[in-house]
């Protein structure tokens, strides 16, 4: 493994549910694997899209913190929703976490997500 490549993990976020890392930092860039609404114990956070979006964004905050970063360092997100009808509520919560100069974003509807989640968000961040 290159010394410029560091695996990032946090006990405040759910462990990987497969053969992948929670995050990988390469130089100044941080790539976080898609986060679904699992709590730190690995249990799916049941509830509507608001509850699930909050859990996902809290997981992302924990992983960013483990890398010495914060939400302001996020430059790109990809949001996966199982129901585009959830977009407005997800967007409202998302805007609370990224109130100023939000990152670039793509939002995609998918047929299904792991563990029956309604949302998954992956992140690219960059150290200032």
CATH number for position 19: 3.30.1330.40
Q: Collapse the DSSP code of 25 into the 3-class scheme (helix H, G, I; strand E, B; otherwise coil) and give the result.
A: strand
pLDDT at 2 over 60: no
Question: Residue 68 CB: number of other CB atoms within 10 A?
Answer: 11
Mean pLDDT of the chain: 95
pLDDT at 60: 98
Closest CA to 23 of 125, 117, 94: 125
pLDDT at 1 over 70: no
pLDDT at 128 over 90: no
Each residue's pLDDT tens digit, 49-73: 999 999 999 999 999 999 999 999 9
pLDDT at 124: 98
Longest Cα separation, the chain: 44
Give the count of domains, the chain.
1
The domain in which residue 46 lies consists of 5-126
């Amino acid at each position: 493994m290159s010394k410029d490549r560091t695996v990032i993990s946090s006990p405040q976020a759910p462990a990987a549910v497969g053969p992948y890392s929670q995050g990988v930092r390469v130089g100044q860039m941080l790539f976080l694997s898609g986060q679904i609404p699992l709590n730190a114990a690995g249990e799916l956070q049941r509830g509507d899209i608001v509850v699930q979006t909050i859990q996902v964004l809290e997981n992302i905050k924990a992983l960013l913190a483990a890398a010495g970063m914060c939400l302001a360092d996020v430059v790109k997100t990809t949001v996966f929703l199982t129901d585009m009808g959830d977009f407005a509520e997800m967007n409202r919560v998302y805007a609370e976490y990224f109130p100023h100069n939000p990152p670039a974003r793509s939002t995609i509807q998918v047929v299904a997500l792991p563990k029956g989640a309604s949302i998954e968000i992956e992140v690219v961040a960059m150290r200032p």
